[in-house]
Every structure is written in structure tokens, then in C-alpha cells.
Structure 1
Amino acid sequence: MTRVIHTGDTHVGYAQYHSPVRRRDFLDAFAAVIDDAIEGEVDAVVHAGDLFHDRRPELDDLMGTITVLRRLDDAGIPFLAVVGNHESTRGGQWLDLFERLGLATRLGDGPTVVGDTAFYGLDHVPVSRRDDLDYAFDDHDAEYAALVAHGLFEPFGYADWDTEEVLAESTVAFDAMLLGDNHTPDVAEVDGTWVTYPGSTERASASEREGRGYNLVTFDADAAGGDDRVEIRRRALDTRPFVFVEADLREGEGAARVRENVRQHDLDDAVALVNVTGEGDPVTPAAIEEFATDEGALIARVTDRREVETDAEIDVSFADPEDAVRERVEEMGLSAAALDVEEAVRADTVPDANVRETVKRRVEERMDDLDAFEGGEPGGNGEGDIDVDDEGDSNANEGDAETDSDAAEQASSETPGTDGQVSMEDYL
């Protein structure tokens, strides 16, 4: 019998709503998973990608993650993982650094055997490169086998990866596929193989209303019962509360009614998300947000999507301006290289003085990857999370390569200052 915790999409380093407290929450949630692993004396922790939110994490986030992994290592519990799309770099991965430190094992084509189960890994692969995959894995002599992968797999929502094809073409018969990328927890059986997502460990967007958690997976025919060989159970995490306040205003009702609805909730240290609908009077989102924080909320955001009588149609969300930007970026269908540029320009972790050098460096890193400049359908989502987080990726229109190259040529050659971010080149 082999018992493992299956987690993923921890997104350490995500300063949601530009809040340093929320940034710490993501690391704390990952630490809570590790605490449960140690207390429960599991055989391994399996991470299905997106350990970090960004491929250039802040030093504090990197050191905090190392501290957490050392606790797990001290307990004699291996950390097995694959690379997700958010953290993927051109060359060496952060997971490689952790492996060199003896704190992790990067799963791949060869089996990593824990107990009586062989674990294999499949890092995130862009849609444009998947036709080249042959799903050839080395043989094993363990009782069970599991594939850990990062991507949007069928039969779950927004899927772009054919699970049946993966299972049919794999040279190893898998008892389970332990997945990451989709932040919604779910489980299904495909061709006799259990396929499951644990969901994210913290709410990375307002759409993630369900409680957060992870999977406890047991490879044991007796424990599973019946004809099953794998048992999958959900475990909850105690994370920062999100309070969703609905204010459906009738004619003549306004800010006073919204405040009354806010008062009906316990907002102590919570993220309060207020949704205003109905026929009522206009409200000032900033005033409602200030009221909610006075009532104890850590963060408050107001969304008012009601039609406003004006010469132009307006649809504005004040819940998080990044949502609106992200939606517009997805509609544009930018290439992976262009998305790197867009991320550098908007990232709150890149000082203004370093933006041009950062853009240049990111484009140069992509120059040996022509697929990164290839086009896609506007509004598509080839590489990132859908209904997953507030900074998903998307494919691009043709012609972006020339634009991105121009950006590189125009970028400054000044030496970037210290901005708290760490590059893999500093270590590998």
C-alpha cells in the first residue's frame, strides 16, 4: 500500500489584489499541506505543477518554499513534482534546483518508486508541441503506476488534452493520472484509469468559491474496494475566508442597501467580494470597499456590472482591474512571447526602471523557440489556466514574432537593478 498527498497549483508568490498579506497566504497554504503530510505520515507528497505563480519568484518566496520543503525532508517524506506553465523557464527549472538540494524529485520518463507504486511525470507542454509527444515511459516492476501531469485534460472543463490518447499511447499502464492546472477539484474514470485534479490550495480568483484542499490517494486494492485499485479522498484546507456579498437593488435602493447586505456577513480578516445587480441607484464602489474594510475585511472589492445610461455602453468591474486586463489580453490572442512582454510590463514585481531590460531578456529567452511566436485564435487559451486564476495565458495571432523582435531591439541594454526577483541563471 502507498499513501500520498496529491496537490498542485499552490502558486506561491501570488500577490493577489496586490496584497502582501495575500502573497503570504499562498505560501502558508502550501505549508499547511506539508504539515498535514508530516502529521499523517504519508509516503510522499506529489505536486502536479505551478508550485510558483511566476517563473521569476521573489527571493522571500523562494526561501520560504525551501524552508517548507526542508521540513518535509527532515520527516523523511519525498517531494515528487512536475513543472507547470506558470513557473516554466527556458532552461533549468526551479524544481531542478530543489532536486540538487536534495529536497525534491523531478518526475519524468523513468519510474520513481515509492512503496509499491511507480510515479512518472509529464511537465506542461504547449498545445503546439504535443503532436511530437510519444508517451514512451520506461518499464517498472511495481504493483501500481501513476502519471503526474500539468495541463487541461478531458473530460474536465476547458480541456485541450486528449486523455484517452495519452492512456492509449503510453507504454505504461497507469492506475491513476494525478493532474494539475485546473483549479477546480474533480475526479473521473477514463478507460479504467482514475483521473483527478486536487484543485488549487488558495483561491486564485473570485470564481473559486468552493473550499480549498488536496487529495489523499491510496494505491491499494483492499483499501479501494471492489474492482478499484486506487482510492481518492478529498481533504480540506483552512484558508483565508472569502465572503461573497450579493446586493440585488430594487428601484430606489442604493448604497445604504448595499451596506446593509455587507453588515449581514462576518468579514473579520476576510476577502469581501460584493456583487451589485438590479434596478437600483448607482453606487460608489470605493465607498463600499472602505465600509467593508471598516467592518473588518482584509480586502474588499465591488463589482457593479449594471447598465449605465450613457452615450457608450459601459461594463466595469471594480473587483480587480487585472480581471478586465486579462480578459482583453485573452481576446487579443497574443503569442507566448508576446505574453511574456505583456506580463513584464504589467507585473507589480518589476520596477519601472527595469521594465525595458526585462522585456529584452524575456524575448531573447524565447528566440530559440519559434513556436513561442506562432499565432493562435483570438480568445483561445492554449497554455494557461481557464477559470483558474487572474493571470492565465493564451495563444497568439501570427505576426507577433516581428513585433516581439522589434521590442527586443528597442529595449535598453542597461544593467537591471535589484528588484527582489531571482533568475534561474543565478543558480544553475
Structure 2
Amino acid sequence: MTCILHVSDTHLDYRQYQNDRRRKDYVDAFNRVIDIAIEENVDAVLHTGDLFHDKSPSLGSQIECAEIIQRLKNEPSEEIPFLTIVGNHERKRDHQFVDYLELPNGHLVQLDNEDNTPFVVNDDVAIYGFDYIPKPSWESTNLTLTPPDTECFILVAMHQLFHPPVPEIMAQHNTEDVLDRFGINVDALALGDHHQREQTTVNGTQVWYPGSTEKTKEDDGPNHYVDILEFDGAELDRKARREIPTREFLFIDIDLVEGVSPVEQIQRELDAYDVQGKVVHVTLDGADVNVTKSQVEDLLRDRGVTVGRCSDARSKFEIDVDVVETEVENIDTTVDEELGVLDLSATAQEVEQVVRDLNTPKSHVRARADEVVAAAVPGSTPDEDLDGEDPVQAELPGDTGSATDGGENL
């Protein structure tokens, strides 16, 4: 019997609401994941991306993460390998932060490799992995899998939005098309990126998302889990879930009325709830009486909430314009999607990544981009122009500028 724990989207170093206690909540959730792995005596932990919330996590978070993963290696019975891929939030152009985590730990395994070969657990499960693939690179990425040496259960780990099970309007790609590109029959797709728990079967292949380990957006579900996969030989015998305790979110709607002190009304309504230690979001509606959001947030802090937020739905103004509401979870991902509609060459895609890489000093961007173009054009040098044009402008359709990760979602 082989047992694997599947976790995804832990988003370490996310200081949600600019609150240090919320940052620690993500660390606590990840620690609980490792507790469960040890309790269940699993043979491996599979993480399907967004271990970190940002491509440049703080040094403290990197140390915390390494120490938590190290607990798997310190098991007295046998060390538990930590298998991982890189998600869209943490993706960097060259080396990933998991590269540095891998050095002191040894048992951390990056599944993505040039030959698309698997990591085999107990001769029962062959696990393949692909780091997050931005839309401009999707069609050119080789997804053909190298078959395992022995007959076993074939599982592919990816960090993408596939339909089904993700709703078509949210999805990046069609699941059936993805399965066709693997070149061999795949028994299961273990996915990350979607923070809701979802599962389905496509042409006999099991497909699922375990969801995130913490609440990153208000519409995330109240419960968060990891999956425990049990294999009997080359068959998935049992798929169970273990819940990760998370801080409670509370949403309170207050309909203000005329003729009553608004502060006193809000105090009475808040007293009807147990708000201590919770993330509380109050929405004001009703009469246009004199009370501010900051007053409400002060009342919440007085009651010991972890985070207190207030929004005011009252308005005397009507604006006759079409407003498109959108939520940018990750600016890099959004840029990738927009670039996906352009017919960029491979060289242009690589130059674009240089321009957007925040770890490349601005003074070095031109030189790095010239190197990319020179490598793609035989006989040229980094300083040469292409047909009299700026090498960067010759490939890029316009100035992309630089982007940062829009971490705050709420």
C-alpha cells in the first residue's frame, strides 16, 4: 500500500490585509499539513504549486518553509520526500526559490524536468510534474510524457485552470485537449491554482483540485483540505480528505435606520456576534446617517477581532456608465493571458520575461535582452542592431514595462 498526501496553494508569506497574524495563519496551516503527513505515515507529499505567495518571498519565510519541510526528513522511521512544482504566483524566469530550498534539504524533489520523466513512489505511482506554463508558452511546451519503466499508476501534477472541473469562463485550457498531448494514458491529474475543492472524471482520467490551505479571497469556501491518496498496487484504492483548521471569517450586514444613533445601532448589532479573533467584514446599507467606515473599524478593534474591515454600500450618486468589475489575483498571470493572444516568437517571449523579471536590475535589462536576441540570431553579437532596429523593439510589439504581483485580493 502506497500513501501520498496532496496539498496545494499554501501561499506562504502572504501578509493578507497587511496583517502579521494573517501571515502567520498561512504558516500554521502549512505546519498542520506536515503534521497530517506524519500522522498518516505517508510515503510522499505532493505540492501542486504556489508554495509561496510571491516570486520574491522574504528571507524569514524561506527559512520558515525550509524548517517545516525539514520535519519530513527528520522522521525517525524514514524521510518523506516533498514533491513540488512551481505555481504562477512564485514563478521566476530562471532559478526558482524551491531551488534554494532543495539544497539543504535534499529530499525536496522538483518534478518538472526536460525529459518529462516521472518520480516513482514504491514502484506503484509514477508522478510527473509541470511548472506553471504561461499562456504565450502553452502551445510550444512539450507535454509528451516519457513512459515509466514498470506498470504503475500514472499521475500528472500541474498548476493550471482546466475545464472541467473549473467553470469554462474561468479556465485557461480544455482538459480533454491536455490529456491528448501527454501521448500516454494518464490515470489522474492532480492540480493546483483553483482555490476551491473540485473533482471530475474526463475520458476515464480522474481530475481534481484539493483547494487552498487558507482563505485568500472572500469567496473562497469556509473549509480547507488536503487529500490523502491510497494506492493498492497500480490502482487508486481510496481518496480521502483531511481538514485544515483556519481562522474564521464573519460577514455582517447592517441596515442603518433613521432616528437612531448609528454608532449605538452598530454596537448593538456587533454585540450579537462572537467576533473575537475572527476576520470580520461589515457592510453598511440603509439610511444615509452620519457614520464612517473608520468608526466601524474602531469598534471592531475594540472587540478584539484579528482583522476588521468595513464597506459602505450607501450612495446618493448614480453614475450612468458601464462598469466592468474585475479582480486581479496576480498581475503576472493577467499579463501572460493578454500576451497569449499575440503571435510572439519564442525569442520575443524570452525577452518579455527579461523585461518583467523584477530580480533583474533596470540597468541590466537592455544587456540581458540583447544577449537573448544575439543567441537567437546566428553571427550577431549582443550590441548589434537587427536591420537597424533596437533588438528589443524588433521583437516586442510595444513596451511591456514591468509588472509586480498584485498580492492583495480582498
TM-score by length of 2: 0.76
1:220-369 aligned within 5 A: 220=232, 229=236, 231-249=238-256, 254-279=262-287, 281=289, 283-306=291-314, 308-310=315-317, 326=328, 360=362, 367=369
Answer yes or no: is the 8 Å Cα contact 2:111–2:128 preserved in 1.
yes
CA distance in 2, matches of 1:258, 1:369: 60
Q: Does 1:98 align with 2:128?
A: no
- 3-state secondary structure, aligned to 2:162: coil
Return the letter of the residue paired with 2:162. F
CA distance in 2, matches of 1:186, 1:326: 22
Structure 1 pair 191–23 and aligned structure 2 pair: CA distance change class (3 A): same
1:251: how far off? Answer: 5.6
Structure 1 pair 211–366 and aligned structure 2 pair: CA distance change class (3 A): farther
Deviation string, structure 1 residues 193-248 (Cα, Å, up to 9, x no partner): 111111111111222242222112223389xxxxx845322221112222222223
1:402: how far off? Answer: 2.2
CA distance in 2, matches of 1:282, 1:329: 37
Structure 1 pair 400–287 and aligned structure 2 pair: CA distance change class (3 A): farther
Return the letter of the residue paired with 1:125. I
Corresponding residue number in structure 1 for 2:399 = 402
1:142: how far off? Answer: 3.9
Answer yes or no: is the 8 Å Cα contact 1:201–1:213 preserved in 2.
yes
Corresponding residue number in structure 1 for 2:205 = 193
2:161 to 152, 155, 170: 152
- 3-state secondary structure, aligned to 1:149: strand
User: What percent of counterpart residues are identical?
Assistant: 34
Answer yes or no: is the 8 Å Cα contact 2:130–2:157 preserved in 1.
yes
Structure 1 pair 136–208 and aligned structure 2 pair: CA distance change class (3 A): same
Q: Does 1:74 align with 2:74?
A: yes
Corresponding residue number in structure 2 for 1:83 = 86
1:96: how far off? Answer: 2.3
1:333: how far off? Answer: 6.4
Structure 1, gaps ≥5 residues long = 223-227, 315-322, 345-356, 371-397, 408-428
Structure 1 pair 130–207 and aligned structure 2 pair: CA distance change class (3 A): same
1:162: how far off? Answer: 1.6
Deviation string, structure 1 residues 251-289 (Cα, Å, up to 9, x no partner): 666443333332222222211111233455353111111
Corresponding residue number in structure 1 for 2:5 = 5
Structure 1 pair 74–214 and aligned structure 2 pair: CA distance change class (3 A): same
Answer yes or no: is the 8 Å Cα contact 1:48–1:148 preserved in 2.
yes
Corresponding residue number in structure 2 for 1:44 = 44
Return the letter of the residue paired with 1:97. Y
Return the letter of the residue paired with 1:256. E
1:54: how far off? Answer: 0.9
Answer yes or no: is the 8 Å Cα contact 1:154–1:162 preserved in 2.
yes
Answer yes or no: is the 8 Å Cα contact 2:188–2:206 preserved in 1.
yes
1:159: how far off? Answer: 0.8
CA distance in 1, matches of 2:42, 2:367: 39
RMSD value over aligned CA atoms? 3.6
Structure 1 pair 221–250 and aligned structure 2 pair: CA distance change class (3 A): farther
Corresponding residue number in structure 1 for 2:228 = 216
Larger Rg: 2
Deviation string, structure 1 residues 31-85 (Cα, Å, up to 9, x no partner): 1101110111111110000001111110100000000011011221110111101
1:163 to 127, 150, 175: 175
Structure 1 pair 168–25 and aligned structure 2 pair: CA distance change class (3 A): same
1:27: how far off? Answer: 1.4
Larger mean Cα displacement after TM superposition, 147-156 or 250-259: 250-259
1:369-408 aligned within 5 A: 401-402=398-399, 404=401
Structure 2, gaps ≥5 residues long = 340-350, 374-394, 404-410
Answer yes or no: is the 8 Å Cα contact 2:62–2:101 preserved in 1.
no
TM-score by length of 1: 0.73
1:179 to 185, 188, 191: 191
Length, aligned pairs only: 354
Return the letter of the residue paired with 1:404. G
Deviation string, structure 1 residues 3-26 (Cα, Å, up to 9, x no partner): 211111111011111112211211
